[in-house]
């Protein structure tokens, strides 16, 4: 989401005459787009600011600014107390960034941290380098107020972008040769543009160019509808991959987290999705060591992992965030217990990923070729629609951006290795044909 926001910021600044430099020593303005979701993200920014501020010894006019969630959360600390930055601009004030930068150039502090109920940057064309893969925000903010989460406070109320503006951006991406678009929102399932829901949005987006793969993240288990599952099943351009954060396997903890679903409801969705979308894969987010989490609660999380058999997981230690409801609960799971439980979760996920990959040996999968493999230019790297990396030997007929059917020969827990069966072409009627 921050990558997508950075592209919006670059779009705004380029319109105002700014150029991007990849050499920090040549910059007149350095902006860090920040995340507040866990404490370690914030600590990294403090570390970076230390390094960047030393550039001011060489260029005293250098403007250093903080964008994003930390601006919202830590304005006082960053500008007034530690005085380490010249500007702080929160996620809903990027339109006025040129104004705030000018204030900072004139020696004052540029501060814009108002949250908005309507800002969606609909009309801004994000600046993107050419490529295959693009992020596209379809909504901003969040109304869920999970008790551990700072997002509703730093990014404000939930609002959806207009269908029209999303479609027009996807058309531009199609004409520039992009092949994969990931639609972003904190809870995409509650997308609503005057009655157009998320499933309708997906159908409209995939109809623009069926040769573009559409991914989306994040789905909240409470709002994921049957209509969405059938829509994914019926449209080949929509990836058979759902990121569905579970957070914990214990109903008691889920309630304390204010996640508003039970584990039974969650598993019911998973079961339904597996029936409706053949070959669907899932990833998730898990938090270890939420206040009052017992060993039994932790075992319930491991149990859910064994039942769902996720293809991937983002796994975190609980990090208390000021201002949230959980911050008032005692952070009573000792650090080493949180770490140990997290390690058990990571180990189990690795084992499941390996086993799931092994099951794919002999299968035919369609991959989008993304370029040379990181390790050798004798191999190409691509991804399945379930987001798995597949390595294939180079082939004179296959280039970056091609869709190729491959047979999976062997795997590790992170990577599949395959051989080419055939290349897929999209003819002018957009029907997949083999050559
Ligand atoms: N809107 C998305 C996720 C937003 S944050 C959703 O609801 O799924 C991404 C992930 O960070 C969350 O799913 C959660 O697992 C993790 N996270 C958020 N706040 C956290 C905290 N205080 N401590 C540890 N992990 C946290
Ligand atoms: Fe945070 Fe919950 Fe909203 Fe996700 S749904 S952004 S975890 S409050």
Q: Mark whether 139 and 89 lie in a shared domain.
A: no
Distance 145 CA to ligand 2 centre (A): 6
The CB of 38 under 6 Å from ligand 1? The reply is: yes
Note the Cα 112 to chain centre separation in Å. 25
Structural domain for 9, as ranges = 2-112
Position 428 scores a pLDDT of 40
How many structural domains are present in the chain?
Answer: 3
Sign of the Cα torsion 362, 229, 219, 6 reads positive
Q: Which residue has the CA at smallest separation from atom 4 of ligand 2?
A: 186
Task: Write down which residue in 333, 358, 383 finishes a domain.
Answer: 358
Q: Mark whether 222 and 265 lie in a shared domain.
A: yes
pTM: 0.95
The CB of 384 under 6 Å from ligand 1? The reply is: no
119 found inside a domain: no
Query: 360: part of which helix (H) or strand (E)?
Result: none
Q: Mark whether 344 and 395 lie in a shared domain.
A: no
CATH of residue 14's domain is 3.40.50.12160
Position 381 scores a pLDDT of 97
Q: Mark whether 227 and 260 lie in a shared domain.
A: yes
In b/e form, how buried is each residue of 10-36, taking b as 16+ CB within 10 angstroms? bbbbeeeebeeeeeeeebebbbbbbbb
Q: Which ligand is nearest to the CA of 145?
A: 2
The CB of 220 under 6 Å from ligand 1? The reply is: yes
Task: Write down which residue in 112, 144, 179 finishes a domain.
Answer: 112
> DSSP character for 247?
B
| pLDDT tens-place values along the chain, 435 residues long | 999 999 999 999 999 999 999 999 999 999 999 999 999 999 999 899 988 988 988 999 999 999 999 998 888 888 877 778 999 999 999 999 999 999 999 999 999 999 999 999 999 999 999 999 999 999 999 999 999 999 999 999 999 999 999 999 999 999 999 999 999 999 999 999 999 999 999 999 999 999 999 999 999 999 899 999 999 999 999 999 999 999 999 999 999 999 999 999 999 999 999 999 999 999 999 999 999 999 999 999 999 999 999 999 999 999 999 999 999 999 999 999 999 999 999 999 999 999 999 999 999 999 999 999 999 999 999 999 999 999 999 999 999 999 999 999 999 988 999 999 999 876 543 434 333
User: Under a CB-based contact definition with an 8 Å cutoff, are residues 409 and 418 in contact?
Assistant: yes
Mutate to test the pocket of ligand 1, among 183, 286, 316 (most ligand atoms within 8 A of CB): 316
Q: Mark whether 294 and 319 lie in a shared domain.
A: yes
Sign of the Cα torsion 266, 180, 149, 37 reads positive
pLDDT, tens only, 40-92: 999 999 899 988 988 988 999 999 999 999 998 888 888 877 778 999 999 99
Of the candidates 106, 222, 128, 123, the residue with the CA atom closest to the CA atom of residue 175: 128
């Amino acid at each position: 989401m921050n990558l997508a926001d950075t592209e919006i910021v670059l779009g705004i600044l380029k319109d105002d005459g700014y150029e991007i430099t990849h050499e920090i020593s040549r910059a007149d303005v350095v902006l860090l787009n920040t995340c507040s979701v866990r404490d370690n993200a914030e600590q990294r920014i403090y570390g970076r600011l230390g390094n960047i501020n030393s550039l001011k010894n060489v260029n005293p006019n250098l403007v250093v600014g903080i964008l994003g969630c930390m601006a919202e959360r830590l304005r006082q600390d960053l500008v007034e107390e530690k005085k380490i930055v010249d500007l702080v601009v929160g996620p809903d004030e990027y339109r006025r960034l040129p104004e705030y930068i000018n204030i900072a150039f004139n020696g004052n502090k540029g501060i814009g941290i108002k949250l908005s109920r309507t800002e969606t940057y609909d009309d801004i064309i994000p600046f993107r380098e050419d490529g295959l893969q693009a992020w596209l925000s379809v909504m901003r903010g969040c109304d869920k107020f999970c008790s551990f989460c700072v997002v509703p406070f730093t990014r404000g109320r939930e609002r959806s972008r207009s269908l029209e503006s999303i479609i027009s951006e996807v058309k531009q991406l199609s004409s520039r040769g992009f092949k994969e678009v990931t639609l972003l929102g904190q809870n995409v399932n509650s997308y609503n543009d005057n009655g157009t829901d998320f499933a309708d949005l997906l159908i409209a987006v995939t109809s623009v160019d069926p040769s573009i793969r559409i991914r989306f993240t994040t789905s909240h288990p409470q709002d994921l509808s049957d209509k969405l599952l059938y829509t994914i099943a019926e449209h080949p351009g929509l990836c058979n991959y759902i990121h569905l954060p579970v957070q914990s396997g214990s109903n008691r903890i889920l309630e304390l987290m204010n996640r508003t679903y039970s584990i039974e409801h969650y598993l019911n969705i998973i079961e339904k999705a597996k029936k409706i979308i053949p070959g669907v894969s899932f990833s998730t987010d898990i938090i270890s060591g939420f206040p009052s989490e017992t060993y039994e609660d932790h075992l319930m999380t491991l149990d859910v992992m064994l039942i769902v058999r996720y293809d991937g997981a983002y796994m975190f230690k609980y990090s208390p965030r000021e201002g949230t409801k959980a911050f008032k609960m005692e952070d009573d799971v000792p650090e080493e217990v949180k770490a140990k439980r997290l390690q058990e979760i990571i180990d189990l996920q690795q084992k499941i990923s390996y086993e799931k990959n092994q099951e794919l040996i002999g299968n035919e999968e369609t991959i989008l070729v993304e370029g040379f493999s990181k390790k050798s230019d004798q191999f190409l790297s691509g991804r399945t629609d379930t987001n798995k990396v597949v390595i294939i030997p180079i082939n004179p007929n296959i280039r970056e951006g091609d869709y190729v059917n491959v047979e999976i020969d062997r795997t590790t827990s992170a990577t599949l290795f395959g051989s080419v069966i055939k290349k897929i072409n999209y003819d002018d009627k957009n029907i997949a044909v083999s050559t």
